[in-house]
Amino acid sequence: MTDQQEFPEDTSEYAETDNVEHHATSKGLALPGQNLPGKVYIIPIHNRPFFPAQVLPVIVNEEPWAETLELVSQSDHHSLALFFMDTPQEDPRHFDTKALPEYGTLVKVHHASRENGKLQFVAQGLTRVRIKTWLKHHRPPYLVEVEYPHQPTEPTDEVKAYGMALINAIKELLPLNPLYSEELKNYLNRFSPNDPSPLTDFAAALTSATGSELQEVLDCVPMLKRMEKVLPMLRKEVEVARLQKEISAEVNRKIGEHQREFFLKEQLKVIQQELGLTKDDRSADIEQFEQRLTGKVLPPQAQKRIEEEMNKLSILETGSPEYAVTRNYLDWATSVPWGVYGEDNLNLKHARKVLDKHHAGLDDIKDRILEFLAVGAYKGEISGSIVLLVGPPGVGKTSVGKSIAESLGRPFYRFSVGGMRDEAEIKGHRRTYIGAQPGKLVHALKDVEVMNPVIMLDEIDKMGQSYQGDPASALLETLDPEQNVEFLDHYLDLRLDLSKVLFVCTANTLDSIPGPLLDRMEVIRLSGYITEEKVAIAKRHLWPKQLEKAGVSKGSLSISDNALKALIDGYAREAGVRQLEKNLGKLVRKAVMKLLDEPKAVIKLGPKDLEASLGRPVFRNEQVLSGIGVITGLAWTSMGGATLPIEATRIHTLNRGFKLTGQLGEVMKESAEIAYSYVSSHLKQFGGDPTFFDEAFVHLHVPEGATPKDGPSAGVTMASALLSLARNQPPKKGVAMTGELTLTGHVLPIGGVREKVIAARRQKIFELILPEPNRGSFEELPEYLKEGITVHFAKRFADVAKILF
């Protein structure tokens, strides 16, 4: 195994040609072209080929080449041949003679030495050599008979031109690569275009080409061909060196810029500190926190705690983790607007104006808000209150909250607690945790910069529970006027006064809100809108908003009142106005398509244009079912009120029985059983055949079986349907009813009177039967809802039967 090393820069004995020639002649040894030996020993090398123009140290393993070098040193000419082998032989003792290339290099051996199992000598390249015959090839030392290629001595003009090109390329390479130093320049001076062979070999040896590529150059004896091979290799080397130099220059420039900037900044810091213009990071932080506290009124406990933390900060090292934790704590503690209160606008006329501007209808809600403001105006300040707005989606709960804030002139902060599962979101994390933060309420106070904002907790009925805690329970302290005077955030660990905050919560239903939480809030119900209110909302708010969104002028596109009514009746009957807004947006988009084709067109939408843009109406005018055993009930859903027909029929008279269908919940099933029992036992009293149910199999059905139905308000309706069946008499037409029945025939009160009245109006039913205890709820309804409606109040089921039959 052999190795080859680059010629070092300062091997002064071998760096210059003159010295090499001196050593050669002083011992009387042959030079290139003189007395070349016919038989030589060979050693294979593996790194890259050795060229005739090179003088380099060569290192070989002592085993098995020691004997070869011993024999060379005893010879007269002190020469051996070096042949390049691309892949080293596994065992040099079993040598494959075919693995050697055609040409090697005859070298003169100088200064052989032995160290650590290696032999080192300086090889001076003399000339190309080719093996003629193998004299000994079974094991080292290998002896061969050789011949030397003949080269013409007189170079042609073309060869000279190539020689000049090679010298220029080498000179270009020198400044680009610092490895080629002054001594190498002197080394280059021995070559001239008139002596092209060593020049070409030297140029090839300078390149970083692969061993096999360099061997091709060594194998190429004809001068011109060899130069044609070497020049592109050298040019490529120049290009690579130039590119490397550019890259390193760019890298150095960038590093230099950063270093310069860094040094200048550090110098500036020191100069400013010396002049007292700036302080170090710690002083700057403390000063910033102290500045934040000016003008704030801190409770004694908070004042003491913040001072302690400031002292702690002043002695900590700025790089320590504890410094970052303390700094973060002070950042939050000083951001709270301690004792800063915004001034309330207690002008009731202004408040009424704001509420009317943003909302059509909702008069009872507006009155409730104005009462609340009136108390504040009378007292001179508005203390905090907790209001819960309950209603179906799209009726404007969130925007009512914004309007309250605007009418008071208070900042408004909204966050949704829907889906929240971690109580730390409300009360903050303990300070010891990594990434700990205060709760949402501290975030809110920091953002609004006063202690009396309007904070809206949206979707309070959709809070989750998990192993991390129960946020609904965490809200108990927040929303209790007795407790939130001293609300404790886990992160700050300081008492905050939330008693001046006006909390507005929103929910779709009350069922999923825990009792203790609901108990702390004042419930205001927002039921759905009737058609007239929806038309007003569409004209005043939704339609202008959609036109503005699409950038369409009022003159280019308009919609008639009749079209709005048709849209509401056929496509948007839900309690809120969200679906209505979507459909209006759809109409505007369809119209914009036409306006692109005809920019000057004026589009007026009427009832007939709706179907073209929105397709067939989603809602058809429901035929109110009538006949024997069919009664119209009224139901409340989370989406508002609805009419609910109930049908009863006799299947056969083979045996007594009672069957229920229509996806009814437990409460509805109970109501049906009670109604069946009550009517069966009082048939004679209500003018029916007492034996009717004894031999009849009766089926009671609530249509739309796919919709789950539950709730205690259908008992009266079911009993009426069964009585109509038993009497074989259809009930009075155009009557709807609601109420719960007991086994003794009493009619119990129900909820959602407003929603149910709206549902009846929507279906054009103007005669209602309601429980007597709900008289007050009906009387409280706005006049426009009660207008034209006849209501019968029933204490017992007998009152209902009297009206129906």
Residues serving a catalytic function are: 713, 756
Known binding residue 354? Answer is no
Known binding residue 395? Answer is yes
266 residue type, one letter: E
Instruction: Please tell me whether residue 702 adopts helix, strand or coil conformation.
Output: coil
528 residue type, one letter: G
Please spell the DSSP secondary structure of 457-510, one letter per residue: EE-GGG---BTTB-HHHHHHHHT-TTTGGGEE-TTT-SEE--TT-EEEEEES-S
The CB density around residue 295, as the number of other CB atoms within 10 Å, is: 10
Known binding residue 117? Answer is no
CA–CA gap between residue 453 and residue 432 (Å, rounded): 30
What are φ and ψ of residue 182, in 5° steps? -55, -45
DSSP H or E segment with residue 39: strand 39-45
| CA of residue 416 relative to chain centroid, distance | 19
Spatial neighbors of 163 by CB under 8 A, at least 6 apart, are: 155, 192, 193, 194, 196, 199, 200, 227
CA–CA gap between residue 363 and residue 369 (Å, rounded): 10
Known binding residue 394? Answer is yes
Tokens standing for residue 71? 């024999």
Known binding residue 782? Answer is no
The CB density around residue 284, as the number of other CB atoms within 10 Å, is: 11
> Could you give the residue ranges of the DSSP H alpha helices within 538-652?
543-550, 561-571, 578-597, 610-614
User: Do 241 and 177 contact (CB within 8 A), yes or no?
Assistant: yes
600 residue type, one letter: K
What are φ and ψ of residue 153, in 5° steps? -85, -35
Known binding residue 398? Answer is yes
CA–CA gap between residue 272 and residue 267 (Å, rounded): 9
DSSP strand E in 366-481: where? 386-390, 412-416, 454-458
300 burial type by CB count under 10 A (0-12 exposed, 13-18 middle, 19+ buried):
exposed
User: Do 654 and 694 contact (CB within 8 A), yes or no?
Assistant: no
User: Do 779 and 752 contact (CB within 8 A), yes or no?
Assistant: no
CA–CA gap between residue 342 and residue 445 (Å, rounded): 12
Known binding residue 397? Answer is yes
Tokens standing for residue 617? 């109406």
Known binding residue 731? Answer is no
C-alpha angle with apex 22: 16 to 25, nearest 5 degrees? 140
User: Do 84 and 104 contact (CB within 8 A), yes or no?
Assistant: yes
Euclidean distance between the first and the last CA atom of the chain, given in angstroms as a whole number: 120
Instruction: Please tell me whether residue 128 adopts helix, strand or coil conformation.
Output: strand
Q: Which long-range contacts (CB under 8 A, 24 or more apart) does 599-608 make?
A: 601/556, 602/555, 602/556, 602/557, 603/556, 603/557, 603/558, 604/558, 604/559, 604/560, 605/557, 605/558, 605/559, 605/560, 605/563, 606/560, 606/562, 606/563, 607/560, 607/562, 607/563, 607/565, 607/566
Spatial neighbors of 511 by CB under 8 A, at least 6 apart, are: 461
Which candidate, 501, 294, 499, 489, places its Cα nearest to that of 411?
501
258 burial type by CB count under 10 A (0-12 exposed, 13-18 middle, 19+ buried):
exposed
What are φ and ψ of residue 45, in 5° steps? -120, 155
User: Do 251 and 257 contact (CB within 8 A), yes or no?
Assistant: no
Sign of CA dihedral 536, 539, 540, 546: positive
Bind-site residues: 391-398
Q: Which residues are annotated as a binding site for ATP?
A: 391-398
